[in-house]
């Protein structure tokens, strides 16, 4: 499947606003990858497809999630669509590149052993030009400093939002946060 075909198919799977978000993440992931010296076309593809499972019914998502995933994820659509996404990428878009699959898997939660490529997609999801939430400009500024700084800012922003809304925080996000800030415990 070439890029044109992938885009066409994705457009049919998503609402216009989520398709436009996906294009935004693709462009932003490519831009960040260029800054970091990572494969920018691969980053574009990972960004494009990161939300390919986002609008599927929960029962369908559940059938795509690998068996090792913590059952708590099944009640959180914002997390479950990410854990289901590698299977949809493989089955429906013919993507088998491991770095793309795992960046898709961790794009909603982050994880403690994130690769540079995982970080690019996680950050791009929150910094693409269509994002307008309070704090996204901090993430964009942090990208200019370093990918790690941007990842930390983006993850901190996500966790703060969940705390503020009194929502569940997926353990992998807390592990990621604690790993990043391991030596930052002398406030
Ligand atoms: Fe997502
Ligand atoms: Fe997204």
Gap from CA of 80 to ligand 1 centroid (Å): 9
Closest to 88 (Cα-Cα) out of 5, 9, 19: 9
Gap from CA of 178 to ligand 2 centroid (Å): 23
Residue 32 has pLDDT above 70, yes or no: yes
pLDDT-derived band of residue 77, with 50, 70 and 90 as boundaries?
Answer: confident
Hey, what are 44's tokens? 């574009």
Gap from CA of 94 to ligand 2 centroid (Å): 20
Q: What is the pLDDT of residue 103?
A: 98
Ligand nearest to the CA of 107: 1
Task: Give me the domains of the chain, ranges plus CATH numbers.
Answer: 3-180 (1.10.3210.10)
């Amino acid at each position: 499947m070439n890029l044109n075909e992938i885009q066409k198919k994705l457009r049919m799977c998503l609402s216009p606003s989520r398709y436009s978000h996906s294009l935004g993440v693709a462009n932003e992931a490519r831009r960040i990858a260029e800054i970091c010296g990572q494969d920018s076309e691969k980053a574009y593809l990972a960004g494009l497809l990161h939300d390919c499972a986002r609008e599927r019914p929960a029962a369908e998502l559940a059938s795509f999630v690998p068996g090792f995933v913590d059952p708590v994820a099944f009640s959180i659509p914002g997390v479950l669509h990410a854990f289901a996404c590698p299977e949809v990428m493989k089955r429906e878009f013919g993507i088998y590149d491991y770095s793309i699959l795992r960046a898709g898997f961790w794009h909603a939660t982050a994880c403690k052993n994130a690769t540079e490529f995982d970080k690019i997609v996680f950050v791009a999801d929150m910094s693409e030009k269509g994002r307008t939430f309070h704090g996204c400009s901090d993430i964009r500024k942090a990208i200019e400093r370093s990918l790690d700084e941007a990842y930390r800012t983006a993850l901190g922003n996500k966790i703060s939002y969940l705390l503020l809304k009194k929502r569940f925080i997926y353990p992998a996000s807390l592990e990621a946060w604690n790993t990043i800030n391991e030596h930052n415990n002398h406030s």
